[in-house]
């Protein structure tokens, strides 16, 4: 049995602004980004920005190039052309990256026999972060009551929240998440909406990827939609959905035009 099966609650941190001058900056900036795997171009001359104080949804179907883009942004994949910067510099140039960017990628990484607290303490220690942060981030993702439970007993939603806790350990002003709502139930998706809103309201820059267009259209302030590694639309959810029943309908209308009516 899971140590905590009930619906998670959102605990917002204290309201906080990131110093004057930062608020309007494009904290994440992708310019002409390109990645090739052999003859296949996975990310093709992609450009977009993610602003502070906003949730930016990075959308596209399976294989669109979302994870590859995020991996290049985080210095995990080599860039073939273009640039990807965070707070104006490449991720790999950041002196203490964990205190600037918190990342939750599709991979888990927690040892199943470790407790949630031990897992986070290990990451904190490895990154020179104060251990006092561990209980703060556990509270933030509503895992306080599960702090001493072993990770193998966690539900998918709890594992997802543990990854988010790890991403927040360094109190980063930029938070990047790859498919954070994947597999979550409606309560988990609601929680994620409130959680990401809280991060943005504190002035943080939030970038999250998903293939679930209509879910993310409800979470994000700004959308970047890609297909085949290329940007197909960018703007507010309202603007992109305008004239269609849903963002997904808008996406299919847009991409079938591009493909000459073939879907
Ligand atoms: N290491 C790799 N070697 C070869 N091809 C790759 C590699 N990583 C990704 N690709 C290819 O690049 C394209 C983009 O993949 P990517 O994982 O970025 O898509 P995605 O948008 O994250 O999809 P999903 O929604 O399934 O997670 C796909 O065609 C994929 O097969
Ligand atoms: Mg992916």
Give tens-digit pLDDT for 13-22: 655 555 444 4
Distance CA 242, CA 159 (A): 36
Average confidence (pLDDT) per 10 residues, the chain, 263 residues:
59 55 71 97 98 96 96 96 96 92 80 92 93 96 95 92 94 95 91 95 96 93 96 95 93 76 46
Distance CA 219, CA 28 (A): 19
Token couple for 132: 């006092």
| Ligand 2 mean position, distance from CA 68 (Å) | 7
Backbone φ, ψ for residue 184 (5° rounding)? -80, 150
Distance CA 241, CA 249 (A): 8
Question: Using CA positions, which residue lies closest to atom 2 of ligand 1?
Answer: 37
Instruction: Report residues near ion ligand 2: CB below 5 Å.
Output: 66-67
Q: Count CB atoms within 10 A of the CB of residue 231.
A: 16
8 A C-beta contact, residue 216 and residue 210 = yes
Q: What is the pLDDT of residue 179?
A: 93
Distance CA 249, CA 237 (A): 13
Distance CA 59, CA 35 (A): 18
8 A C-beta contact, residue 217 and residue 223 = yes
Q: What is the pLDDT of residue 107?
A: 62
Q: Is residue 64 in contact with ligand 1, taking CB distance under 6 Å?
A: yes
Classify residue 8 by its DSSP letter: P
Q: Is residue 197 in contact with ligand 1, taking CB distance under 6 Å?
A: no
Q: Tokens 């990342």 identify what position?
A: 103
Q: Is residue 53 in contact with ligand 1, taking CB distance under 6 Å?
A: no
Token couple for 128: 């020179």
């Amino acid at each position: 049995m899971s140590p905590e099966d009930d619906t998670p609650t959102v605990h917002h941190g204290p309201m906080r602004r990131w110093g004057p001058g930062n608020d309007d900056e494009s904290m994440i900036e992708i310019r002409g980004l390109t990645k090739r795997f052999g003859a296949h171009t996975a990310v093709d001359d992609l450009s977009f920005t993610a602003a502070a104080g906003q949730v930016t949804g990075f959308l596209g179907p399976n294989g669109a190039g979302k994870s590859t883009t995020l991996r290049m942004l985080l210095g995990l994949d080599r860039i073939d052309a273009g640039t990807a910067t965070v707070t104006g510099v490449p991720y790999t140039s950041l002196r203490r990256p964990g205190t600037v960017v918190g990342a939750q990628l599709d991979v888990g990484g927690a040892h199943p026999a470790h407790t949630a607290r031990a897992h986070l303490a290990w990451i904190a220690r490895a990154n020179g972060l104060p251990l006092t942060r561990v209980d703060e981030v556990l509270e933030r993702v509503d895992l306080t009551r599960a702090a001493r439970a072993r990770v193998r007993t966690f539900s998918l939603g709890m594992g997802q929240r543990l990854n988010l806790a790890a991403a927040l350990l360094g109190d980063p002003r930029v938070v990047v998440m790859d498919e954070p709502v994947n597999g979550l139930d409606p309560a988990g998706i609601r929680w994620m909406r409130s959680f990401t809103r809280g991060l943005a309201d504190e002035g943080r820059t939030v970038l999250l990827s998903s293939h679930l267009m209509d879910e993310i259209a409800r979470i994000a302030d700004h959308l970047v939609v890609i297909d085949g590694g290329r940007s197909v639309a960018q703007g507010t959810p309202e603007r992109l959905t305008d004239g269609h029943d849903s963002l997904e309908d808008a996406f299919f209308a847009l991409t079938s035009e591009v493909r000459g009516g073939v879907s």
